[in-house]
Amino acid sequence: MNGDFRQQLRAWLADNLHGEFAKLRGVGGPGREHEQYESRREWDRKLAKAGWSCLGWPVEHGGRGASTQEQVIFYEEYAAANAPARVNHIGEELLGPTLIAFGTPEQQRRFLPKILAVEELWCQGYSEPGAGSDLASVSTTATVDGDDWVITGQKVWTSLAHEADWCFVLARTQPGSRRREGLSYLLVPMRQPGVEVRPIRQLTGTSEFNEVFFDNARTSKDMVVGEVGDGWRVAMATLAFERGVATLGQQVGFRRELDALIDLAKRNGAIDDPVIKERLTRSWIGLEVMRAHALRTLSRKDPGYEASVSKLVWARWHRELGELAMQVRGPESMVAVDGDLDEWQRLFLFSRADTIYGGSDEIQRTIIAERVLGLPKEPRA
Ligand SMILES: Cc1cc2nc3c(=O)[nH]c(=O)nc-3n(C[C@H](O)[C@H](O)[C@H](O)COP(=O)(O)OP(=O)(O)OC[C@H]3O[C@@H](n4cnc5c(N)ncnc54)[C@H](O)[C@@H]3O)c2cc1C
């Protein structure tokens, strides 16, 4: 069965990464989301039509009900074919599973088919200027007015908000509530007068994330996922999906980067430097360890602190890969020709963000210290 799955996928990718899509090989991903965006969207639609997206979703919701093992195979073959980074991952991997777990049948019928068909793209509206690591400090509010929620506040670092049709927003719906109480998880249309998206220019020169201002933005009353006031629980479930099988796809991307770097080191002679040779080897071992850890963790129903261990390990590993890439390239890595960054410079600069997003290193270590090692809790206001 798995052999068939692998063969079918391999054949499909070989047949379809052709013609107009051939140019998409190796394109896109963190720090490179601007590359061929529209064509990659078409590619995602093509994958979806052929049944190669939303693999882990249950069949009754339009997915394939694929096992973890099959999803691993998918990521392996996808990377081996050098297929492009997906544009639909926030809908497919974060919101879709959340709606399947917590959404009403109406919400599932309304949104899941559009995610499947890559007709509506999503962004994640959690972080605010005063609520990043301390997400429970969310201050964006939503109040009921007639048949609508009216949303006011500011989100920040909202990845791909400039492309998104909808945003899942964590907002305070109970006036005067504090911390995790009184929050709700709202689905808000992005294309309306009350929503302003301002791109943030990153170190890489490109803009993948944004500030998002909600100024009396509206969404209808039935656009709450889970119970009103129970948004924290739903928001945490989304984060668990973010740190689940989706991370395998990311690791496969890492392998592709490492393979390309080894190839570059062979071509430009950097491999003759014993220090570089050793660092490349260590990097390869690190990737094997991450893979083993991910597979072990994913086979558990409820990965807990392991997700923090994974986050710490992969973020540091990837940041070091960016630094190693600069070393392999040598002095050339210091020069941006005509102000344009090449893929290695982009990797180096963007990977600085790895130890911040999805929960910073410090926060992951606090989780491990307090919940696993039983060390004294840090003081809280
Ligand atoms: C590339 C990228 C994409 C992102 N995409 C999204 C997105 O799509 N949607 C979204 O909602 N958010 C997104 N984020 C935001 C991300 O979740 C936050 O940046 C992250 O949670 C950290 O919050 P902060 O930036 O406010 O930093 P802060 O929380 O202000 O932290 C600043 C520094 O202080 C440290 N620190 C904070 N609190 C503690 C503590 N208690 N103990 C020890 N150290 C502490 C942190 O580790 C960090 O080093 C993205 C961020 C990046 C970099």
CA distance 315 to 307: 12
Residue among 33, 133, 346 whose CB has most ligand 1 atoms within 8 A, to mutate: 133
| Mean pLDDT on 354-374 | 93
In the predicted model, is pLDDT for residue 300 greater than 80? no
What is the 358 CA–ligand 1 centroid distance (Å)? 8
Closest ligand 1 atom to Cα of 159:
8
Q: Calculate how far, in angstroms, residue 359's C-alpha sits from the geometric centre of ligand 1.
A: 6
Stronger pLDDT, 225 or 310, i.e. the higher one: 225
Question: Which atom of ligand 1 lies closest to the CA of 135?
Answer: 21
Distance 3 CA to ligand 1 centre (A): 41
The mean pLDDT value of the chain amounts to: 93
pLDDT above 90 covers what percent of the chain?
78
Between 284 and 255, where is the model more confident?
A: 284
Which residue is catalytic, options 163, 242, 257, 306?
242
> What integer pLDDT is reported at residue 143 of this predicted model?
98
Per residue in 71-80, pLDDT (tens digit) is 888 988 998 8
Quick: pLDDT tens for 108-161.
999 999 999 999 999 999 999 999 999 999 999 999 999 999 999 999 999 999
pLDDT at 13 over 90: yes
- Residue from 134, 356, 377 whose mutation best tests the ligand 1 pocket (most atoms within 8 A of CB): 356
pLDDT of residue 246: 67
Q: Which is nearest to 257 in space by CA: 339, 350, 159, 340?
A: 350
Q: Decide if 61 contacts 112 (C-beta within 8 A).
A: yes
The confidence score (pLDDT) of residue 252 equals 76
Task: Tell me how far apart the alpha carbons of residues 228 and 331 are, in angstroms, rounded to a whole number.
Answer: 56
CB proximity list for 235: less than 8 A, separation 6 or greater: 126, 135, 170, 183, 185
Q: Is 119 annotated in the active site?
A: no
Tell me, letter by letter, the H, E, C secondary structure of 344-375: HHHHHHHHHHHHCCCCCHHHHHHHHHHHHCCC
The count of other CB atoms within 10 Å of the CB of residue 185 is 29
Query: At residue 1, does pLDDT exceed 60?
Result: no
| Arithmetic mean of pLDDT, 214-242 | 96
| Ligand 1 atom having least distance to the Cα of 161 | 8
Atom number in ligand 1 closest to CA 202 = 1
Residues 118 and 44 sit within 8 Å (Cβ to Cβ): yes
| Ligand 1 geometric centre to CA of 133 (Å) | 5
Long-range contacts of residues 335-342, Cβ cutoff 8 Å, at least 24 apart = 339/205, 341/204, 341/205
Tokens 């945490």 identify what position? Answer: 236
Dihedral (Cα; 66, 69, 71, 76), 10-degree rounding: -150
- Backbone CA torsion sign across 158, 316, 243, 371: negative
Residue-level pLDDT at 36: 95
Position 356, amino acid: I
pLDDT bucket at 226, cuts 50 / 70 / 90? very high
pLDDT of residue 111: 98
Give me the pLDDT at residue 351, please.
94
Give the residue with greater pLDDT, 29 vs 298: 29
Contacts of 68 (CB under 8 A, 6+ apart): 56, 245, 298, 299
Question: Positive or negative, the Cα torsion across 257, 263, 268, 271?
Answer: positive
Tell me which residue has its CA closest to atom 38 in ligand 1: 133
Residue in 32, 134, 157, 159 to alter for ligand 1 test, most ligand atoms within 8 A of Cβ: 157
Q: How far is the CA of 184 from the centre of ligand 1 (A)?
A: 21
Q: Hey, whose CA ends up nearest to atom 14 of ligand 1?
A: 157
The pLDDT assigned to 32 comes to: 85
Residue with tokens 């994913």: 298
332's CB contacts (< 8 A; 6+ apart) are none
With DSSP H G I counted as helix, E B as strand and the rest as coil, what are the percentages for the chain, rounded to 5? Answer: 50, 15, 35
- The label of the residue with tokens 């392991």 reads 306
Give the mean model confidence (pLDDT) for residues 204-209: 91
pLDDT of the residue at 223: 98
CA-based end-to-end distance of the chain: 54
pLDDT at 338: 83
CA–CA gap between residue 286 and residue 343 (Å, rounded): 22
Residue nearest to atom 27 of ligand 1 (CA): 132
User: What residues line ligand 1, using a CB cutoff of 6 Å?
Assistant: 123-127, 132-133, 157-159, 209, 353, 356-357, 360, 362-363, 366
